Structure formats: C-alpha cells, structure tokens
C-alpha cells in the first residue's frame, strides 16, 4: 500500500515537473514551431464550455503527449521549421453560387485587382499604431473596459482571436470587415480543415458554412480546455511572440453593411432573433409573421430606423450583449489590452492585405482572395441617416465613439450638426 502511494506521489510530481518544463520552454524558445491545432476532416458542432473555477484541478489536454514528444525529439524543430516553397494557388472564383439579390446587397466583386504596394505603407502602419496606442494611454478618451487588464477579460470575450501556431499568427476577426476571406486565409495557413484528407490550398475553395463554424478555428477562448489554469499564461506568451493583426472599418458604414446583409436579405435566424422583437417593440406589430419569407411576402421588414432604435435602447444590452455584427470593435478585439502589430482597414484592403502577407512571410504561398468591393460606401451615410433624428445620430456616435477615435476615423460632423 505504501509503495502504491509513493508511486502515485512520484507520478503527480513528475507530471507537474513536466508541465513546468513545457511552460519554461515556451517562455524561452517560443511556440511558433509547434502546430497544436488538430486538423479536422469536417467541422463539428462546438461543445458548450463548462466553467473552470479557480480551485479546479488542471486536466491535461489530449495534445499533451504529442507536445512532449515534439519537445523531446531532437529532430522535431528541424522538421517542423522546414519551409516548403509552393507557387500561389490559382484562385478561380465561382460567383454563380450566389443569388443576384445577395450579390447586390453584399456587394461582392470577383474581378481581379492587383494590389500595388505604396512606399509609405510602413509609415501608414506606424501612424495607425501610434494613434491607437496614444488614445489607449490617453485619459481623455474613456469607454467601458478600457482600463481592464488582459487577465480580467472573460474567456467568452476572447472568441474572436484566431491562432495559427504554424506561422505564429493571431488574427482578431471583425464581422463585416472582410472576415470571411481572412478566416479562409487562416484555415489555409493553419491546415485546420481537410478536404479528401489534404489541407485546403485555395482559400476560395473552402465552403462558407465551414469558414464560420467555430470548431474550424483555434481561438483563445478554447485554451482552457487544453491548458486549464495555465491557459492565460500561454495566451500572454503567444501575444508576446506572435504577429497580431486585425482589420477595421468606418463604424457607421459597418452598421449600414450589417443592416443590409442581415435584414434586407431573407435570413431566418436574424429575423426570429432580432427582427421580430424590433417589429413588436418599435413598429407596433404585436404578432409579426412567424418566418422571414412570410414577412417579406407581406412587405414587412425592419427599417434602418428600427435598427438604430434597437441599438440605442438600454434594454438591448440588458438582455444580451450586442451581436458580433454590430458589436463595437474595441469589445471584440480589446485593442488597449493587446498590442497589435498590424492594423488593416477595409478602405485600403488590397494594399494592406498584400503588405500583411509579405510581413507574415506567406506571400509566396497564397494570395488574398480577389478583392471584396462592398458597395456600402461612406458616401452613402447621408442618405441612410437622412431619416434618423439628430438626437439619435449623436447618441449613436457616442456609442461607437471609441472605434472612431482608436482607429483614426474622422468624426462624421455632417451627420451630427444641426
């Protein structure tokens, strides 16, 4: 009996020592050599995440043994760091898969556009980062969560940070800012999704439903399953060593785009979850149609004014956080807690995408998919907001002011003055 207890004690101590060695190794050598995200032949529905209390014991992840093998193998680093030179895949778009109505509203343009690198792009990036860091440190700009430490961000708020351990990349995706194609790029780079047993090489070949399936991507909010109480430490290690990027957009134009794609198209999920409550609360329809198709046939649609009322209504955030398509960027990507290396903008997508892929040293492997020309332009703002009361516009600006300021978008004075 005593020998059995002694054996169990040595087993526990040995496991703890091995975990400590892993942490020390990651701190000193880095994690970019390790590919920890298991490739999926087909994405599956994500499991609900149980809570992990501070007193819970660490559950060793299923990846622990392969990780130890990689560390202990003398040839592992050499094998994993060997680069393959591959020509960029030929991207053949297939716009016929979309209806003309969807093309019109979403604003896709599959014609090729050659991205030209301007000589001042490095200065442009430096200025964007300087503005962002300056306002994060400036007490004159106040907004919720600004002063919060990274350790205090709940796990469920880290679900937009996608990690590619193969190349040492972290991407925070912002819906309505070309995130579908950037997610496709991340899938190709990480090899996280297989087709007929092989990773995808062509971003546009990846079906849209797989692109937005959360189980396809390794995100920060999943780290607790792998590393338990060590997850935050490993996040901070990766944030220090990896290249971190995001793409942003004029906040009001992003709202218009979100409204067009989610409420002007027949989207049953958004109709049931958002449009029906808006129609009841702001349009005095006590019994709106049960489905979006019935509502559209009856000519019943949520208006842009209803949508703005919904955003400004204090009950909205009381019931649930904003949907990711109109949630503020600072709430999705935490730019005052994470020091991003690259801030791209949809308004300069072609140039920024080419510059970023070159910075990541993957421009010889793939190109960013053909340009996404969203027809929701800033020049449309006056038309869309013409029927919105001035008081509402000013409240809406205050709601999204942090995004305007942090990412260098000018205040829309023409919409906010008498």
pLDDT in tens, the chain (418 residues): 566 666 666 666 666 666 555 544 444 333 333 333 333 333 333 333 333 333 333 333 333 334 333 333 333 333 333 333 344 443 333 333 444 444 344 433 323 333 344 558 889 999 999 999 999 999 999 999 999 999 999 999 999 999 999 999 999 999 999 999 999 999 999 999 998 899 999 999 999 999 999 899 999 999 999 899 999 999 999 999 999 999 999 999 999 999 999 999 999 999 999 999 999 999 999 999 999 999 999 999 999 999 999 999 999 999 999 999 999 999 999 999 999 999 999 999 999 999 999 999 999 999 998 765 555 666 788 899 999 999 999 999 999 999 999 999 999 999 999 8
Burial of 301 (0-12, 13-18, 19+ CB in 10 A): middle
Here the tokens at position 403 are: 């995004």
Q: Give the per-residue pLDDT at 272.
A: 97
**Separation between Cα atoms, residue 216 and residue 42, nearest integer Å:** 8
**Residues 28, 73 contacting (CB under 8 angstroms):** no
**Separation between Cα atoms, residue 335 and residue 220, nearest integer Å:** 15
**Residues 258, 355 contacting (CB under 8 angstroms):** no
Sign of CA dihedral 381, 386, 392, 394: positive
Residue 247 three-state SS? strand
Model confidence pTM above 0.85: no
**Residues 39, 194 contacting (CB under 8 angstroms):** yes
DSSP state of 343: E
**Separation between Cα atoms, residue 144 and residue 327, nearest integer Å:** 13
The residue length of the chain stands at 418
């Amino acid at each position: 009996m005593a020998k059995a207890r002694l054996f169990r004690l040595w087993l526990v101590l040995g496991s703890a020592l091995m975990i400590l060695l892993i942490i020390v190794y990651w701190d000193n050598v880095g994690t970019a050599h390790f590919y920890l995200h298991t490739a999926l032949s087909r994405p599956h529905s994500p499991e609900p995440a149980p809570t992990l209390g501070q007193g819970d014991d660490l559950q060793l992840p299923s990846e622990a043994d392969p990780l130890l093998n990689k560390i202990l193998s003398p040839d592992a680093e050499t094998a994993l760091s060997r680069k393959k030179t591959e020509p960029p895949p030929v991207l053949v778009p297939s716009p016929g898969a979309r209806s003309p109505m969807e093309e019109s509203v979403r604003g896709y343009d599959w014609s090729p556009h050659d991205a030209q690198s301007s000589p001042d792009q490095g200065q442009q990036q430096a200025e964007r980062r300087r503005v962002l860091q300056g306002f994060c440190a400036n007490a004159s700009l106040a907004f919720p969560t600004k002063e919060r430490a990274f350790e205090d961000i709940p796990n469920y708020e880290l679900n937009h940070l996608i990690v590619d351990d193969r190349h040492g990349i972290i991407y925070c995706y912002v819906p309505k800012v070309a995130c579908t194609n950037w997610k496709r790029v991340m899938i190709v780079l990480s090899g996280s999704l297989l087709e007929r047993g092989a990773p995808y090489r062509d971003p546009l070949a990846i079906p849209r439903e797989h692109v937005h399936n959360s189980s396809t991507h390794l995100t920060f909010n999943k780290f607790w399953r792998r590393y338990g109480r060590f997850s935050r430490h490993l996040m901070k290690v990766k944030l220090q060593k990896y290249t971190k990027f995001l793409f942003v957009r004029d906040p009001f134009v992003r709202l218009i785009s979100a409204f067009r794609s989610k409420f002007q198209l027949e989207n049953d999920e958004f109709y049931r979850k958002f449009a029906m409550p808006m129609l009841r609360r702001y349009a005095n329809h006590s019994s709106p149609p049960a489905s979006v198709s019935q509502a559209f046939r009856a000519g019943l649609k949520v208006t842009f004014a209803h949508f703005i009322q919904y955003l400004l209504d204090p009950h909205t955030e009381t019931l649930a956080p904003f949907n990711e398509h109109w949630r503020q960027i600072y709430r999705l990507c935490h730019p005052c807690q994470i020091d991003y290396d690259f801030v791209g903008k949809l308004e300069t997508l072609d140039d920024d995408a080419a510059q970023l892929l070159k910075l990541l040293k993957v421009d010889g492997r793939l190109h960013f998919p053909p340009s996404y020309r969203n027809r929701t332009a800033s020049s449309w703002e006056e038309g869309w907001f013409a029927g919105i009361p001035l008081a509402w516009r000013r409240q809406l600006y205050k709601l999204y002011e942090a995004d305007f300021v942090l990412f260098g978008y000018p205040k829309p004075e023409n919409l906010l003055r008498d």
